[in-house]
Structure 1
């Protein structure tokens, strides 16, 4: 079993040829890349007190152990491992970007203390048949004022109403899921005022009539939908069309009410 230890870090860096002591080197270390090294476990990293960026993707890690000691981490890359649970991150209160795609996570929780997290990447979880990725409401509440980028593509998700509270979202990737309710999408997206980019390609909802037009009209700042740019001219045309349609409907409803009133008055005036 390959274990990430300070000894392994020292061996890989040949620090003794350039630095007076291991402790000094580890203290100054800010970036550490052990991607694709068959790492299965993480040892105590408390000596790396200034570590800010840690690359551990494409390994065989099953547990997120001994990460709480790396309290200065801002970027953590652990995609494509064998992780089933998000854990031991409560002390990483400076963490801004977390990459966990390609693992085996079914429930997203344990992020309640990460008030500075701006990006969360959870795409392509290795789920069993019938499973779908679930996001704990407590985690969503905790991230509601910070999270700007969310990637939950290819996770068998069939609804996103729970994501409504993430009001700061700018980029959303939820491609290749099972989203089918266009009205739900309109309602949720209308509550994301900062949304600039969204990818829903590969979902059943994309086949609904006027899918693209309807989302463009409710997302006032959306610039790219499913990889295609949205011109301001197109948006204004759709908004004008929608306003004209609503005005015609309002006029028609008023005419119906007026005819009913006239008919009712006529009936009351007809003598017995």
Structure 2
């Protein structure tokens, strides 16, 4: 490590008219405060101090009032100071140890590079001429306010911890290139992101790769819809073919999402239906169980009453056999008749229930037959194979038989009364009736 010497200075400067261009990069310098011993510092226009061992921006620099270019990258600087330079246009401080950026008084500054430091805070700036700002590779959570830099064209804030860009909304009318890759912008921010870029009229390049928001379905097409003038998304040039492919992918994605949503709703409907079925089944089982208990209780009462009644009958029969006189009052006789009538009614009711069930089953079978074959084919088949069912059909008075299918001749339709079972056939012949394709029986 060394200080600036005259020999080093004389080998590394260029005198351009009245102005100096000094290039002292990679000289292992720890200080340049004696540079005013070798030249007029107010005549220096470009100062290159890249890759040295400078730990501060020394006071001598603030006297370089004509300075336009200052390069201090790859040093050990921790604090930004002594930079009240009215003509400075380019300042490079990348790869140092800076943690905070104070408000800079640089009215003509166009390019500012503060990348790869340890910056967590940037004060509100008033840099009206700023066109390019590089803050990549730092530890920022929020963007600085840039409403006082209306000419900003390129903003590079990649590789920070940023979660939002709302501070850009409606501020940078000339911003063309926004580099936000590898930050922490969440997926739910996609709508807000689209809203912000809509307020940046000159924006044509945007890069959010490496952020959770870039993994949102339809991310590219949503940005393109919000900002149709975009030419690059995540460093991919949006040719007409790529735009068409993105639109097709969006349609496919939308279709797939609808399919999945439909499946989800269908499965949900099935689950709800099964749940309703389980609940209803449970209720029916409980109701059946209650009815079974009630029936059993009633049945036990009936059985007990019948036992008593039969015991009463046995006693009467025994007395009758012995020739004893039987004293039957009107009440006992009436009770006897009621018991007999009750028993008969129960028997008739049971027969009716069985009959009704048989009729219902027969009607169902008839409907099944009729729904699968032509009427005449079915009637013949029933007459031959199901004589009991045939009798049931003949017993009923149907209004009309549906007309046969087009391949059956309507003029030859036979009355149902003319169709007989093998048991009924004998020597009787069939009767035919034709009434506009309809027959009665």
Contact persistence 2:103–2:123 (CA under 8 A)? no
Q: Which segment is superposed worse, 97-106 or 228-237?
A: 228-237
Residue in 2 aligned with 1:157?
Answer: 162
SS at match of 1:205: helix
**Residues 88-112 of structure 1: CA deviation (Å, up to 9, x unaligned):** 621x100011000111211221422
Structure 1 CA distance for aligned equivalents of residues 55 and 215 of structure 2? 43
Structure 1 residue 85: Cα displacement: 1.6
Instruction: Tell me whether 1:118 sits opposite 2:126 in the alignment.
Output: no
Instruction: Tell me whether 1:183 sits opposite 2:191 in the alignment.
Output: yes
Larger Rg: 2
Structure 2 CA distance for aligned equivalents of residues 203 and 238 of structure 1? 20
Structure 1 CA distance for aligned equivalents of residues 232 and 133 of structure 2? 19
Residue in 2 aligned with 1:268?
Answer: none
Instruction: Tell me whether 1:229 sits opposite 2:237 in the alignment.
Output: yes
Residue in 2 aligned with 1:93?
Answer: 107
Q: State the superposition RMSD in angstroms.
A: 3.1
Unaligned residue ranges in structure 2 (runs of 5+): 19-35, 255-441
Residue in 2 aligned with 1:269?
Answer: none
Structure 1 residue 26: Cα displacement: 3.0
Contact persistence 1:23–1:47 (CA under 8 A)? no
What TM-score, normalized by structure 1, do the two folds share? 0.74
Aligned CA distance change for structure 1 residues 9 and 29 (closer, same or farther; 3 Å): farther
Instruction: Tell me whether 1:53 sits opposite 2:69 in the alignment.
Output: yes
Q: Which has the higher helix share?
A: 2
Structure 1 CA distance for aligned equivalents of residues 92 and 69 of structure 2? 8
Structure 2 CA distance for aligned equivalents of residues 204 and 213 of structure 1? 16
Aligned CA distance change for structure 1 residues 174 and 24 (closer, same or farther; 3 Å): same
Kindly indicate whether structure 1 or structure 2 has the higher relative contact order, using CA contacts under 8 Å at least 6 residues apart. 1
Residue in 2 aligned with 1:35?
Answer: 50
Residue in 2 aligned with 1:200?
Answer: 208
Aligned CA distance change for structure 1 residues 78 and 16 (closer, same or farther; 3 Å): closer
Aligned CA distance change for structure 1 residues 11 and 122 (closer, same or farther; 3 Å): farther
Contact persistence 2:143–2:162 (CA under 8 A)? no
Contact persistence 1:57–1:77 (CA under 8 A)? yes
Residue in 1 aligned with 2:396?
Answer: none
**Residues 37-65 of structure 1: CA deviation (Å, up to 9, x unaligned):** 01101222244221101110111001111
Return the match for 1:105 from 87, 105, 119: 119
Structure 2 CA distance for aligned equivalents of residues 81 and 232 of structure 1? 43
Structure 1 CA distance for aligned equivalents of residues 237 and 109 of structure 2? 31
The size of the alignment, in residue pairs, is 229
Contact persistence 2:177–2:204 (CA under 8 A)? yes
Structure 2 CA distance for aligned equivalents of residues 102 and 78 of structure 1? 9
Residue in 1 aligned with 2:9?
Answer: 13
Residue in 2 aligned with 1:63?
Answer: 79
Structure 2 CA distance for aligned equivalents of residues 11 and 170 of structure 1? 46
